[in-house]
Amino acid sequence: MTVFLDIVDPASVPKRELASGDRIPSIGLGTFGSDNYDNQTIADAVKTAVKIGYRHIDCASVYGNESEIGTTLSDLINEGLVRREDLWITSKVWNDRHNDVYGACLQSMKDLKTDYLDLYLVHWPFPNSHAKGVSVDSRDPNARPYIHEEFMKTWEAMERLVDSGLVRNIGTSNMTQRKLELLLRDCRIKPVCNEMELHPHFQQPELFDFVVKNGIQPIGFCPLGSPNRPERDKTPTDTNPFEDPVILKIAAAHGVHPALICIKWAIQRGQIPIPFSVKPAKLASNLRAAIEDPLTSEEMEVMKTVDKNCRLVKGQVFTWPGATWEDLWKDEE
């Protein structure tokens, strides 16, 4: 059976200019398939997304699927369907490789079959999690609180990646404002992006304003509220933006699913959402939300009222003895 894809002209998707001068597409494809999809299914979704018009692919070594994604992207390039220079490929160094950033980067580049990365992020600011095999759903018995001096060693290795030309841009993820303040004070090369949980029920206005004020582009993961996130990340107090009456009302006015309102809001707010889907129709509608039927200024104002400060990705697997997940996000002088 022939599948007809809804193609979006990549040139019509707006881009954000980073502090480095590089331009990044204003919407990307996330590749964390949670526990619901195997690696090849995610790689096939990447193939479909690129054919539809996506040019920004957000990867990470810990997702365990960079090799399959790399094969897919290489095939698309070799077939002449896309040029490498038209793709924006992001990867991230995982906690157990903070003491070998260079090696971790080379491994991701090898897996992704590229000779450079457009953006490389420190996935979590916990360089103390060096134990091999520490994954997204296991606890590190040696975990301890953030240590700035250790993080700076990691960041200096990131800076050397830029110096070497292996990486064009570097950034952070899952940071707090105080951690970013310390990094900006001590770094040689500033982060151009900070990837952080951002959706209508978790808007993080203070941190969002801080990164923007400091010339750092916010990238928002879980832009739809991540209803399919792993069970380990779910708690009874979590909320779902798709059930929010304000968002439902705006969605009805536009005649679209609430997910598209979340994407429109994110892009118009100035962040870069990286929604994930394996379904061609959803991939296309998510991408079209970036360029069609924007929210009104009144609707954008109303969206501010739905913030519930509901963090969904709590990071509890990184807690040290005696700590709760809330301790990961506390800023101390």
* Interatomic CA distance for residues 201 and 311, integer angstroms: 8
Query: Which amino acid, 315?
Result: G
Query: Which amino acid, 164?
Result: S
The pairing of strands 56-58 and 29-30 is parallel
Tokens of 52: 């539809």
User: Which DSSP symbol is given to 96?
Assistant: G
* Interatomic CA distance for residues 9 and 270, integer angstroms: 21
Using an 8 Å Cβ cutoff, are 34 and 313 in contact?
no
List, as one string, the DSSP characters of 126-163.
-TT---TT--TTS--TT-----HHHHHHHHHHHHHHHH
Could you tell me the strand order of the sheet in which 193-197 lies? 29-30, 56-58, 88-93, 119-122, 170-173, 193-197, 217-221, 272-273
Tokens of 145: 């609180």
Using an 8 Å Cβ cutoff, are 241 and 201 in contact?
yes
Residue 140: half-sphere exposure toward Cβ, Cα within 13 Å: 23
Query: Which amino acid, 2?
Result: T
- DSSP SS3 for 330: coil
Does the active-site annotation cover 63? yes
Torsion angles phi and psi, residue 126, rounded to 5 = -130, 80
Cβ neighbours of residue 314 closer than 8 Å, sequence gap 6 or more: 233, 235, 325, 328
- DSSP SS3 for 120: strand
Helix, strand and coil content of the chain, in percent to the nearest 5, comes to: 40, 10, 45
The strand ranges marked E within 59-211 are 88-93, 119-122, 170-173, 193-197
Active-site residue identified among 37, 63, 120, 146: 63
Which residues are known to be catalytic?
63
